[in-house]
A and B are shown apart, each in its own frame.
Chain A
């Protein structure tokens, strides 16, 4: 039984990495994530340099007290990756899955698979495992690239806590991308038209990643703070029950919230330990998992129908 699943999974990996369009999207994803680390690291270095310049200036003026140095959370330089995975990672997963069944149905290979001694649910599991392996390899490459670049540009070596947080983030990113892959696979089971399936998933992606977060934003309360030194007014948003309710339907928002906490992007929550952080975000984690599990169960059920072949 496992042989059939592994054979299907290996084939998924092989065909994915031979598909030029998928390779282009993947290349773009890796490139953007690397650029984001470079920019993040450079910005952090500039902040530190600015602090040292101010300290030098104040010392030169004979100041008695010096400002305390800015808190340094090394992982925060990777902060932009949260947005890239949330946006482009989801698109990569859609690219990976949109022909998983409809493409095979159109080129006749689904009949060849189904006429062999494998069960339909093994076909779904094999494709799921294959998709997971591709996403795992992809995120693994990004992780290694980013760690190397992070160390090279920032001159800092991540400690054990940072590495655990980073691994936690990439595990979360895999789950998030798998939710999109599974949903796309379900659409691919249900439709013969790959282009329609792709467009439908892109609309869902737009709704989850852009429309719902903006809708939630519009329902927030805003307080205003005046910055006397710079003569500017700053908006300070606070959640309302309506904005929270809207965000429940967007795994992208949940992913970004957990991801930013894991990578210590938000100073207020950066000191929370990994255990406490997971407890704090347990609701958000469940909100990412539930739609994924729902479409997975629907996929198994839909694959049993004979018109799938």
Chain B
């Protein structure tokens, strides 16, 4: 579904991401782990075609993120960190706008289905600025899945959510992955979320990928560590 080859991004002399080689299989939930400033958001920005790589290449669904950027955008759904949407518009109006931009046909019917799926129909006609953070995040997910993307990119999706909101979001993502087969690529620095949600992980530090594999394989590779947290700190510390 997603493949990068020596992908890199430089800002002047500073390398935000360096020689990133990554593969995410279709139907997996990939957790991209790293400290703040490790290069996670830069990576997701390149993969979602928002910024151009300065070296290497990346493809999603076989399409190059630079040469075929419009085709890539049809395949992806994206939820950035801390998005607030249009506060003066209702959930339905927000979704109608993003659905039309994505070229969704029968957009109102699709919005209704999506809101039902996310159990949000009761609040759909209220202005978004009246929503809690958790409700906004659910509408954020709704705009990202409205056009039935093959892969969903989420940047720190649980940031700022309370435990209840975090659990609800996790349940939604699991449902999307298991019932719709949506591949999920999630930036996070919360190890607890990764263990509950992800099938595969990658660990990035200072722009370099330290490790990428399925959680099962990683646990086999580090038999002495009792948890993913211990594995993470061992790899980070080793670096």
Known: A15-B88, A19-B88. A112 touches B98 (CB 8 A): yes
A115 touches B76 (CB 8 A): yes
Which chain A residues in 18-58 approach chain B with CB under 8 Å? Answer: 18-19
A309 touches B51 (CB 8 A): yes
User: Cβ of B102 < 8 Å from any Cβ of A?
Assistant: yes
From B49, B76, B83, A109 is in contact (CB under 8 Å) with B83
Which chain A residues in 100-123 approach chain B with CB under 8 Å? Answer: 107-109, 111-118
Known: A111-B78, A112-B98. A306 touches B86 (CB 8 A): no
User: Cβ of A3 < 8 Å from any Cβ of B?
Assistant: yes
Q: How far is the CA of A23 from the CA of B76 in the complex (A)?
A: 37
Q: How far is the CA of A118 from the CA of B147 in the complex (A)?
A: 14
Q: How far is the CA of A117 from the CA of B63 in the complex (A)?
A: 14
Known: A7-B101, A117-B103. A108 touches B70 (CB 8 A): no
Q: Interface 1/0s, chain B 31-54, versus A by CB < 8 A? A: 000000000000001001111100
Q: Interface 1/0s, chain A 182-219, versus B by CB < 8 A? A: 00000000000000000000000000000000000000
CB-CB under 8 A from A107, the residues of chain B are 83-87
Known: A7-B97, A14-B93, A306-B51. A115 touches B78 (CB 8 A): yes
* Chain A interface bracket (under 10, 10 to 19, 20 to 34, 35 or more): 20 to 34
From DSSP, what is the main secondary structure of chain A's interface residues?
A: helix
User: Cβ of A291 < 8 Å from any Cβ of B?
Assistant: no
B83 touches A112 (CB 8 A): yes
From B45, B80, B85, B102, A117 is in contact (CB under 8 Å) with B102
Q: How far is the CA of A11 from the CA of B93 in the complex (A)?
A: 9
CB-CB under 8 A from A168, the residues of chain B are none
From A4, A10, A108, A309, B84 is in contact (CB under 8 Å) with A108
Which chain B residues in 47-95 approach chain A with CB under 8 Å? Answer: 48-52, 70, 73-74, 76, 78, 80-89, 93
A15-B88, A115-B49 are known; give 17 further A-B pairs, CB within 8 A: A14-B93, A15-B86, A107-B85, A107-B86, A108-B83, A109-B85, A111-B78, A111-B83, A112-B80, A113-B101, A115-B48, A115-B78, A116-B98, A117-B102, A306-B51, A306-B52, A309-B45
Can you list 18 residue pairs at the A/B interface with Cβ under 8 Å? Answer: A14-B89, A107-B84, A107-B86, A108-B81, A108-B85, A109-B85, A109-B86, A111-B48, A111-B50, A112-B83, A114-B49, A115-B73, A115-B76, A115-B78, A117-B70, A117-B102, A118-B101, A309-B51
